Copies of this chain bind each other. A is one copy, B any other.
Amino acid sequence: MVYKQLVECVPNFSEGRDQEVIEAIVDVFRGKKGLKMLDYSNDEDHNRMVVSLVGEPGAIKEAVIAAVGIALEKIDLRQHQGQHPRMGAVDVIPLIPIRNITVEETVALSRDLAQEIYENYGMPSFLYEKSATAPHREDLGRLRKGQFEGMAEKIKDEAFRPDYGTELHPTGGIVAIGCRMPLIAFNVNLDTPSFEVANKIAHNVRNLSGGLRFVKAIGIALRDRGISQVSMNLTDYTKTPLYRALELIRVEARRYGVTVVGSEIVGLVPMDALIHSAEYYMGLEDFCVDQVLEKRLME
């Protein structure tokens, strides 16, 4: 039996105001065989649109290439203003392995996509995250620093030479393309109004300051409720599961006499992420995700 491969793709386009341009781009993704548009949303302040797609690798590649063509035709970054940093008319194209596809295969897909975008439109690209060709090129923020306006100069530096192409696209700039794991926005609520305490706990659990490898975290106050929150992004739940982040926060909170009062997941979460935590808390022995009925249905 051949299992259908599925990837998620979340391209970010640098247009969040002009409905005609927005519609022209998302229209490419409608009614396409082998893919599904889960969502799209534009932000006028950011002047940016995020599209969420899921589908077979080939169908995703073909549709994204077509949409990049529209974006390059309709968006001129020389005229673009918005609060969100950006370096390309299509700014970033993350590819996320969802089902029956490995990280390696998804990296290969990101390379194919980058090459075809360069061949079709002369738009250069950086490979980022798990597709990056060097550790200093993994982080999107670091690649994008200087933005469109500073990019012509930046890519002359050996360290930031594009992976595909050698010069900026005159109106479209440069795009980051790469395989990343699904992000999970996971927040844990604490029975203290103190933002400072939440921030100290966030500090102790995040990768940056010696905590868990795939956790980014900050402390915030939820003033309406008189409590505070450790707000996290889990960047690879297969290696740093939800329960581990939650239980470590509980441990760190103890020294402040603070208790965890709840948690929340914002947006989408892969089924496996919740199942791994159920397994932990229930002490399930020898459980295999293939026992989940829905896994069998999706083969």
Residues of A within 8 A of B (CB): 6, 8, 36, 38, 54, 98-99, 182, 189, 242-243, 246, 260-265, 267-271, 274-275, 277-279, 281-287, 291-298
Of the listed residues A189, A277, A279, A287, the one surrounded by the most CB atoms of chain B closer than 10 A to its CB is: A277
Contact status B285-A189, CB under 8 Å: yes
CB of A140, distance to nearest CB on chain B (Å) = 21
A221 to B56, CA, bound (A): 48
Secondary structure call for the A interface: mixed
Using A189-B285, A283-B262, A297-B298 as known contacts, say yes or no to A291 and B267 having CB atoms under 8 A apart: yes
Contact status A281-B281, CB under 8 Å: yes
Stoichiometry (number of copies): 2
Contact status B298-A298, CB under 8 Å: yes
A66 to B291, CA, bound (A): 29
Contact status A268-B292, CB under 8 Å: yes
Contact status B292-A274, CB under 8 Å: yes
Residue in B246, B265, B278 whose beta carbon sits within 8 Å of that of A277 in the complex? B278
Contact status B292-A264, CB under 8 Å: no
CB of A47, distance to nearest CB on chain B (Å) = 27
CB<8 Å pairs between A and B, sample of 21: A8-B293, A54-B296, A98-B293, A242-B282, A243-B281, A243-B282, A260-B283, A262-B284, A262-B285, A263-B283, A264-B286, A265-B284, A268-B293, A269-B292, A269-B293, A270-B294, A271-B293, A275-B278, A277-B278, A278-B278, A278-B281
